[in-house]
Each structure stands twice: as structure tokens, then as C-alpha cells.
């Protein structure tokens, strides 16, 4: 008897778990020939809300980890991704890439994770400063993670776009909720499995699949979200996001012309975008004068 192939159920990733969308909705994903490959969760605003709760819960632990440890975990994600190259490769091909570009996309994704793993314990030193001030204070500024970042990932790239969007955010100690590509969602769900098996605490990265037109206003209006990064080109959505952001003064970053495959799509400045600068004035003795200040 011929064996029936077991098809994978593509679910979303919230707080280290793989639930189906609470709404029960889905959309069929078709290949070039028009055959249905999989049913994908059409996430609702309540899934987003649950994901934000998970991200908020994970923020304290993740942001207070040693930078070196975050680096180890990012490197671990790269290792796990490397080990599952074949699966990502075949999914990318199923979603319409040629074998060559698919191969490139997977290796570049691994390399990008390693790149940001390297930056984890270095960006603070580069972005910090000791500031000259006129009074008797030791004055220094240093970056701290912004909080929860809601990400609307690139539409045209299934894996590389996702990695490019997520890596700098978590390298900087933030937690995030990501909306994956709607037309190419397969790798997002498989990437969630990689994250889940790589020492990354649940809730640090939460991945939803679904429709940006439906969700972008909730991504930008939620009061517990501290920043939104947007990787698509829809001018109307960008306007809405900027308007909604005024509610709690979210940081908004629109990367609408990032060349994902080039080196320009990876930079410590992408980590810097989701950081807040904290400046400390520490009183010291009057060092400028000839005699003691007391």
C-alpha cells in the first residue's frame, strides 16, 4: 500500500507555545500551479494581544540577561538554523524561489544571525559615551532596550526578511511580536520551531501569520507596545501607524527600501533604533579646581 504523506500544520508562535489562532480563521496558501499547499492561521487582534502579554512577560528576564549570554543564544539560533537548512530550502522552493536563490537566502540568514550574535556585547560600548559637563558630575550615556517592538516583516522574503527584522531587535534586549509575510509564511512557522529549540526564552519572539491591512492599526495602537518597525511599502498603512503611534509616543521605524540580500541590511544602527539612551549624572568631587571641594 502506498504511504500517505503527513502534512505539516502551520501554527502561530506565542509565548513559547504553538497555538492555532484563537479566531479559528485560516487562509489557504497556494503554489504557482494553484494547488493548496497548506492552511495558514489568519491571526486576529486577540492573538496579537496575547502575544503582547507574552512579550511583556518575557521582557524583564531577557533585557536583564548578560549581553554575552544573549550573544550565545543568538549564535545557538544560527546553529539550529544551519542544522535545518534542507527544510528551509525546500520550503523556499515551494514558495517559488529558484534553487540558487533559495540556497543563498538560507546561508545568508544563518550568517546574519551570527553577525548580530557578535554585536550583542559590543554595541553598548560603541553607542555609549562619557560626556563633558560643566558641573561636578560624571556624566555618561548608555543604550537600554526600548521594550516591546511590534514588527511587520518584509512581504517579499520568507526567511531572510524575518531574520533581518528580528535579530537586531532581540540582540538589543527587546522582545517582539512579528507579523510574518502573508504570501510566503511557511519559513516563519518553521523558524519559530528553530527558536523554540535554541534556548531562547518563550515570549521573547512571538510570530503571527496573517494580514497586515487587518492588523497594522492594532500593532500601532496597542498602549503596551513601545516601538513599531515596518518593512513594507504601503503608504496608507505607514500613515495610520504614524498617527496611532502618537497615543503613547511609540518609536516608529519604516524600512521600506532595505536591500535584504546586501550587507546594508545588517548594521549596529538597526540595533540602535530600538534603544533608548539613558544619561546619568553622577555627583563627584570638584575635580577641576585646585583644592578639595569639601
CB of 221 to another protein, least distance (A): 5
d(CA 87, CA 81): 10
Closest CB to another protein among 50 and 266?
A: 50
Q: Which residues have CB under 8 Å from 243's CB, separation 6+?
A: 220
Please, what is the minimum distance in Å from the beta carbon of residue 48 to another protein? Answer: 8
Judged by CB, which is closer to another protein: 52, or 113? 52
Tally the residues of the chain.
Answer: 294
User: Which C-beta is closer to another protein: that of 131 or that of 248?
Assistant: 248
Nearest approach, Cβ of residue 278 and another protein (Å)? 17
Residue closer to another protein, measured from CB, 106 or 225: 225
CB of 49 to another protein, least distance (A): 5
What is the 3-state secondary structure of the chain?
Answer: CCCCCCCCCECCEECCECCCCCCCCEEEEECCCCCEEEEEECCCHHHHHHHHHHHHHHHHHHHCCCHHHHHHHHHHHHHHHHHCHHHHHHHHHHCCCCHHHHHHHHHHHHHHHHHHHHHCCCHHHHHCEEECCCCCEEEEEEEEECCEEEEECCCCCCCHHHHHHHHHHHHCCCEEEEECCCCCCHHHHHHHHHHHCCCCCCCCEEEECCCHHHHHHHHHHCCCCCEEEECCCCHHHHHHHHHHHCCCCCEEEECCCCCCCCHHHCCHHHHHHCEEEEEEEEECCCCCCCCCCC
CB of 211 to another protein, least distance (A): 18
Question: CB 187 → another protein: shortest distance, Å?
Answer: 28
Nearer to another protein, 52 or 167 (CB): 52
- List interacting residues with another protein (CB under 8 A): 45, 49, 52, 218, 221-224, 247-248
Element (H, E) at 142: strand 137-145
Which grid coordinates are listed for 176? 517582539
Element (H, E) at 99: helix 99-119
Nearer Cβ to another protein, position 30 or 46?
46
Taking the least distance from each CB to another protein, the nearer of 29 and 177 is 177
Distance of closest approach, residue 181 Cβ to another protein, in angstroms: 24
* Least CB distance to another protein at residue 223 (A): 4
- Choice between 112 and 218, CB closer to another protein: 218
Amino acid at each position: 500500500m502506498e504511504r500517505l504523506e503527513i502534512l505539516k500544520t502551520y501554527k502561530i508562535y506565542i509565548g513559547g507555545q504553538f497555538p492555532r489562532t484563537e479566531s479559528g480563521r485560516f487562509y489557504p496558501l497556494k503554489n504557482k500551479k494553484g494547488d493548496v499547499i497548506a492552511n495558514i492561521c489568519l491571526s486576529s487582534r486577540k492573538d496579537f494581544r496575547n502575544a503582547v502579554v507574552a512579550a511583556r512577560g518575557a521582557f524583564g528576564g531577557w533585557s536583564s540577561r548578560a549581553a554575552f549570554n544573549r550573544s550565545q543564544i543568538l549564535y545557538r539560533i544560527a546553529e539550529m538554523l544551519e542544522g535545518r537548512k534542507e527544510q528551509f530550502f525546500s520550503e523556499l522552493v515551494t514558495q517559488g524561489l529558484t534553487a540558487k536563490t533559495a540556497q543563498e537566502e538560507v546561508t545568508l540568514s544563518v550568517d546574519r544571525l551570527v553577525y548580530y550574535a557578535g554585536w550583542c556585547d559590543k554595541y553598548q560600548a560603541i553607542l555609549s559615551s562619557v560626556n563633558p559637563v560643566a558641573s561636578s558630575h560624571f556624566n555618561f550615556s548608555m543604550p537600554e532596550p526600548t521594550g516591546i517592538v511590534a514588527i511587520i516583516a518584509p512581504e517579499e522574503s520568507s526567511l531572510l526578511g524575518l531574520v533581518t527584522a528580528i535579530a537586531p531587535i532581540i540582540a538589543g534586549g527587546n522582545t517582539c511580536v512579528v507579523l510574518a509575510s502573508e504570501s510566503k509564511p511557511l519559513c516563519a512557522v518553521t523558524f519559530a520551531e528553530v527558536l523554540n529549540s535554541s534556548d531562547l526564552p518563550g515570549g521573547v519572539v512571538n510570530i503571527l501569520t496573517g494580514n497586515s491591512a487587518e492588523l497594522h492599526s492594532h500593532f500601532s495602537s496597542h498602549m503596551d507596545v513601545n516601538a513599531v518597525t515596518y518593512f513594507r511599502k504601503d503608504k496608507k498603512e505607514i500613515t495610520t501607524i504614524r498617527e496611532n503611534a502618537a497615543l503613547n509616543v511609540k518609536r516608529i521605524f519604516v524600512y521600506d527600501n532595505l536591500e535584504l540580500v546586501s550587507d546594508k541590511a545588517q548594521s549596529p544602527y538597526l540595533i540602535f533604533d530600538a534603544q533608548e539612551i539613558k544619561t546619568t549624572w553622577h555627583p563627584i568631587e570638584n575635580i577641576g579646581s585646585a583644592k578639595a571641594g569639601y
